Amino acid sequence: MSNVNATMARIAELEAMQAELKALKQTVKNQVRMKVSAKGGISIYGLQRMPVTLYAGQWERIIDMCKSGDLGTFISDNEAILTRKEAKTEAAPVVAKSKKVAKAKKVKTSEGPTAADLAAIEALSARADRIPASDLFGDD
């Protein structure tokens, strides 16, 4: 039974680590960040779905356009026809206007493994205890 407890503890630990990783990825996803690409370009992440990658000289030309005011002037001159993509906000829930009644979906409310899962884990553990170590690790 100690194998089951150890397995359950490991599962809980992995789930906690997975939740932490998901939270970290979400914070990184919303930040603008830079990276040197494999071919030596500069990639800017976080502006759109795919990174914007240009070589250093190309970025320097864009920076010069910003410093001289040319880019700002171009934007203000064309403001009426430019489209701006705003940061995502929480969307309101969509209400179905269909006359059909939607079936309720089954929601898994289990807090952990079921009795069947525990039995399967126990069976695997018992089987693994009978296997010689040489078969597990390939020591010939």
- Name the band, by pLDDT with cuts 50, 70 and 90, for residue 122: confident
Output the 3-class SS for 73-133: HHHHHCCCCCCCCCCCCCCCCCCCCCCCCCCCCCCCCCCCCCHHHHHHHHHHHHHHHHCCH
Model confidence pLDDT, tens digit, residues 58-86? 999 999 999 999 999 999 999 999 998 87
pTM for the whole thing?
A: 0.44
47/33 Cα distance (integer angstroms): 9
The reported pLDDT for the residue numbered 8 is: 86
- What is the predicted pLDDT for the residue at 57? 96
Under the banding of pLDDT at 50, 70 and 90, the label for residue 88 is: low
List pLDDT tens digits, range 14-45.
988 888 888 877 766 668 899 999 999 999 98
- Site of tokens 């597990």: 136
